[in-house]
Chains A and B, each alone.
Chain A
Amino acid sequence: MKTLVWVEHDNAVVKDATLATVTAASKLGEVHLLVAGSGCGAVAEQAARIAGVGKVHVADDAAYANALAENVAPLVVELMGHHDAFVAPATSNGKNIAPRVAALLDVMQISDILSVESEDTFTRPTYAGNAIATVRSKDDRKVITVRGTAFEKAATEGGSGTVEAVASTGDKGLSSFVGAEIAKSERPELTSAKVIVSGGRALKDGETFEQLIFPLADKLGAAVGASRAAVDAGYVPNDYQVGQTGKIVAPEVYVAVGISGAIQHLAGMKDSKTIIAINKDEDAPIFQVADIGLVGDLFKIVPELTEKI
């Protein structure tokens, strides 16, 4: 089976989500990559060094600069003439593009897979991670998105892929990119961080969130996350949100501060290796999944904890 993997990149580096996707794709067979973008040659060179990679298809055209699904999907469909599966990380780009590709190929997509059981059988979470379904695809070609935290990352060095340019399928003229507001952060990226400190509604406001959560995160070298309640209340931007509708994370250590543990939040973090909960309500559902719990007032506990580590 020949797979085509979508390379998630920012025109400078290959994103970690791609590496986990390569691991998943390698369980299906030969791994080819697709680097689409504008001026993405350096990314293609990096991609070719990922362990286990064969051909790297590079589509360098202004039409692909911002990964608009309307322009990228026809390119993928073209390449699927000689691939058996299109595999993308379940990032916002992957989730935007892959179903468009699937429908154009008249196949059902398998979303957010957790494991590859065989060439046509996969497991995936449903009902906010409360039920794990094993599904078999009857389609001749597969379109799959991969949950990054469920697979080991492929090594970034050691591969010797061959870079090959592919012709542009052009700008379809349906959509155009206007601009982006990307949140700036010096801290590790949420989805690949080893330690995450997350805050909830109990933090009261944005200022308190910053004063309590950020110093603790920095002491631990952690990324900062948040519950939906904290995002909706405007304490932090939406890209901090962990949960069914936000980011899915599985760090070594997840510290939940002032988060009750609604099922939508748990869906995003319950595969973390160790969960630590700090909450004043000893009956909060978060304590049912926490490995280590501390019941008490976070306004006292968090500064003390930051001080002592």
Chain B
Amino acid sequence: MKALVPVKRVIDYNVKPRVKADGTGVDLSNVKMSINPFDEIAVEEAIRLKEKGVATEIVAVSVGPAKAQETLRTALAMGADRAILIQTPEGAGSEVEPLGVAKLLAKVQEEEQAGLVILGKQAIDDDSNQTGQMLAALLGLPQGTFASKVEVEGDKVSVTREVDGGLETVKLSTPAIITTDLRLNEPRYASLPNIMKAKSKPLVQKTPSDYGVDVAPRLETLKVAEPAGRTAGIKVADVDELVTKLKAMGVAG
């Protein structure tokens, strides 16, 4: 089966985001950008399925500005076979919302007919946690969200999910949509030769209008602000002083 892996270009997870002074958004100029960590896990899972002989081809797809090509090249260097970039304008206010992305991915899936679409559970910029579920809804396919284990068994896929109280396992018919949780796998590093090879792998460029999808935002961002800061705390010298504080707060007897 074919595996389709959507990836997103986001602020690097180690960077502390700075809110712009005018409250219009987060300042992304001259900030290190990377592949969304959950998407890296999705690419890795697809590659492992290919190495097991389950997946035959891995198609990476990204919706974003021209620079999202770098993110797709990362996926290609890890082991994806080809890539599709659905290019959108750059800059604040032009981000495509999860609903728009899901509609575009639904069109791509209709063309590609992948057996599995593997996405990250959430992007670390908008923290929405929606796209995979929305894609499954639009296609009328089952969803295995927050996956920590994926096993393909014939025309079914068994997915162990990280849920609030622990783990649960569901069995889905294929094609299915899977979203990855952190513990699904440890993504590999792309080696230098593979990074070089990735440069010659096919990357097709499209636009939302090629798919006839309206990606106009449904949510209007009125303001982006820093969270309320915490007032500076104190340091205590020893355990006795800490115990006194805890007792004063009424949490220790």
Q: CB of B133 within 8 A of chain A?
A: yes
**B128 to A136, Cβ gap below 8 A?**
no
CB distance from B153 to the nearest CB of A (A): 11
B126 within 8 A of A: yes
Residue of A nearest to B103 (CB): A103
Could you tell me if A131 and B172 are in contact, using CB atoms closer than 8 angstroms?
A: no
Given A103-B102, A108-B98, A180-B163 in contact, is the A128-B124 Cβ separation under 8 Å? yes
Taking CB atoms, residues of chain A closer than 8 Å to B225 are 131-132, 134
Q: What is the bound-complex CA distance between A276 and B233, given in angstroms?
A: 9
Question: Given the complex, which residues of A lie within 8 Å of B235, measured CB to CB?
Answer: 282, 287, 292-295
Distance in Å: Cβ of B102 to nearest Cβ of chain A: 6
List, in ascending order, chain B residues with CB within 8 A of A102's CB.
99, 130, 134, 137
A111-B129, A135-B222, A174-B173 given; A103·B138 CB < 8 A: yes
Whether B134 contacts A308 by the Cβ 8 Å rule is no
A151 → B minimal CB distance (Å): 16
Q: Chain A contacts of B58 at CB under 8 A?
A: none
Would A305 and B218 count as touching, CB distance under 8 A?
no
Q: Which residue of B lies closest to A239 (CB)?
A: B166
Contacts of A92 in B (CB 8 A): 146, 161-164
Bound CA–CA A130/B168 (angstroms): 31
Q: How many A-B residue pairs have CB under 8 A?
A: 251
State the Cβ distance, A223 to closest chain B Cβ, in Å.
13
Report the nearest B residue to A237, measured CB to CB.
B166
Nearest residue, chain A, Cβ from B183: A238
Partner of A107, one of B99, B165, B236: B99
Quick check: is B19 within 8 A (CB to CB) of the other chain? yes
A127→B143 CA distance, assembly (Å): 25
Cα–Cα distance between A129 and B99 once the two chains are bound (Å)? 22
* Interface residue? B67 (CB, 8 A): no
For B218, give its contact among A107, A127, A128 (CB under 8 Å).
A107
Picked from B165, B182, B227, B236, the residue with its CB within 8 Å of the CB of A132 is B227
**B155 on the A face (CB < 8 A):** no
CB distance from A40 to the nearest CB of B (A): 17
Q: Is the interface of B mostly helix, strand, loop or mixed?
A: mixed
Q: Is A157 an interface residue when CB atoms closer than 8 A count as contact? A: no
The answer, yes or no, to whether B108 is at the interface (CB within 8 Å) is no
Q: Known contacts A178-B169, A244-B124; is A293 also within 8 Å of B234 by CB?
A: yes
Complex interface: chain B residues within 8 A of A308 (CB): 239-240, 243
Interface assignment of A137: CB less than 8 Å from any CB of chain B: yes
A112-B127 Cα distance, complex, nearest whole Å:
9
With contacts A126-B125, A134-B223, A308-B243 known, is A100 near B170, CB below 8 A?
no
Chain B residues with CB under 8 Å of A93's CB are 163-164
Stretch at the interface among A24-32, A66-74, A207-215: A66-74
Does any Cβ of B come within 8 Å of A34's Cβ?
no
Q: Are B124 and A293 in contact (CB under 8 A)?
A: no
CB closest residue in chain A, given B242: A294
Q: Which residues of B contact A (CB under 8 A)?
A: 11, 13, 16-17, 19, 25-26, 97-99, 102, 121-122, 124-138, 140-146, 148, 158, 161-173, 181-183, 217-227, 230-231, 233-236, 238-240, 242-243, 245-247, 249, 251-253
Provide a sorted-by-A list of 20 A–B residue pairs whose CB atoms are within 8 angstroms.
Answer: A96-B145, A99-B129, A103-B102, A103-B138, A127-B26, A127-B124, A130-B26, A130-B227, A131-B25, A134-B223, A178-B168, A178-B171, A180-B167, A181-B168, A182-B166, A239-B162, A239-B166, A275-B230, A290-B233, A292-B242
Nearest 10 CB-CB pairings of A with B: A99-B133, A103-B134, A103-B137, A309-B252, A99-B130, A174-B142, A108-B218, A180-B168, A178-B169, A291-B233
18 further A-B pairs in the complex, CB-CB below 8 A; given A93-B164, A100-B143: A95-B145, A97-B133, A100-B136, A108-B98, A112-B127, A130-B226, A176-B171, A177-B168, A180-B167, A182-B165, A220-B246, A220-B252, A238-B167, A274-B249, A276-B246, A290-B233, A294-B235, A294-B236
